[in-house]
Amino acid sequence: MSYKTIPFSEIVESSQTKAFFQNLLTATWLRPERALMDAYMLSVFNYFIEIKEGQRTLDWGCTDGSLSFVLLGGEFNFSYDDYVEVEWQKKSTEISAGINIDFFDVQKELLINPVAKPAARNFSHGVSWKESHISKASRFNIHASLLSQGFEEKIPYPEDYFNSVLASNLFWIEPKSLLRKVISDIVSVTVQGGKILSIFPKKDAPEPLSHQLKGADENWIKKLDRGIGANLLQNAISLEEANELFGACGLKIKSVVEFCPSLISTVYQIGFRPMFPVFMNMYEKVKMASPEKFIELKKHWIDTVSDFMLPLCENDWMVKMKMPYTWYFFELEKAG
């Protein structure tokens, strides 16, 4: 294997991770662990992404477009957040009641413009696997063209069409045969020498927190984890496996960056998730009773969360503690 291993701290300033985190908090303030994890991911992508005028760039797996919007320099309207489109089990008597329908499956008419500052750059194309993704992504005006397409379908673009591809959601695809098929499809529409950027969980990372709690009550662990640990394990990859996977699809690894210290991964795995139904209950009641007080509450919440969580955006002290990284970033190139 011949590739360059780049230390995260050489390419990312903590100020950049903090800026991404605080921007993302506007949209995901009730779940700051998501904003934290995504801020680390965007910090790496930000270093490598190239969008040049006149070139075609594909945002594959763009989902609702919010992460790509932030990556390209956009900023959210403070009155906007994800939760206006969340449906949850309001009538359930169970403490563990939570999301009834995936946020990404729900699309409602917004009464406010989600954009405070437009993105500085745009992708030429965006592709995702749900119609609701595409409807949501269109709000941010960062894709000249958007397309909904399932994993099993072939990407309907000519061969050698895109100069570069951002593919941050490949690691969700199962089984491995389908993952290979999707990667091969992406490679076929990428020019020779074109870049594909992606991420995968590390196979040799510390076990997910839920798997470290062996012996504890299984139902309690289930409520805490909500399937996150299983997802991380079944999609994790070693460098040897990555080299074999990408090589079989016509790619070579140019650069590898290990990112997301284990502490960040642990925070992400549970975070405020168990309390989310309660937060949604408060969210809806306060917002309905007084929109003005709701905005005051949101600002107070974000200020407090930022005060306690911004130090987690500083990678260097975790490196000094020798915390292992839990994710790989791959800069890939279509082989000749």
**3-class secondary-structure state, position 155:** coil
Mean pLDDT of 84-109: 55
Higher pLDDT, 310 or 88: 310
Averaged over 98-126, what is the pLDDT?
76
pLDDT at 106 over 80: no
User: Which tens digits make up the pLDDT trace of 196-230?
Assistant: 999 999 999 887 777 777 788 888 887 777 777 77
Work out the number of other CB atoms within 10 angstroms of the CB of residue 233.
15
Per mean pLDDT, which range of 19-23, 143-147, 204-208, 252-256 is the poorest? Answer: 204-208
Q: What is the pTM of this model?
A: 0.92
pLDDT of residue 105: 56
pLDDT score for 228:
76
Position 95 confidence tier, pLDDT thresholds 50, 70, 90:
very low
Q: Does residue 40 register a pLDDT over 90? A: yes
Average pLDDT, integer, range 9-31:
97
CB 200 within 8 A of CB 61: no
Model confidence band, residue 89 (pLDDT cutoffs 50, 70, 90): low
At residue 334 the predicted structure's pLDDT band, cuts being 50, 70 and 90, is very high
pLDDT at 313 over 50: yes
**DSSP result, 168-230:** TTGGG--SHHHHHHHHHHHHHTEEEEEEEEEEEEBTTSPPPHHHH-TTS-HHHHHHHHTTHHH
Provide the pLDDT for residue 177.
94
pLDDT of residue 157: 97
Q: Which residues contact 138 (CB under 8 A, 6 or more apart)?
A: 65, 146
- Residue 107 binned pLDDT confidence (cut-offs 50, 70, 90): low
Q: Is the pLDDT of residue 111 over 80?
A: no
Distance CA 272, CA 260 (A): 19
Check pLDDT > 60 for residue 93. Answer: no
- How high is the pLDDT of residue 323? 96
Interatomic CA distance for residues 9 and 30, integer angstroms: 29
Rounded mean pLDDT, 113-141 = 96
In this prediction, residue 97 carries a pLDDT of 44
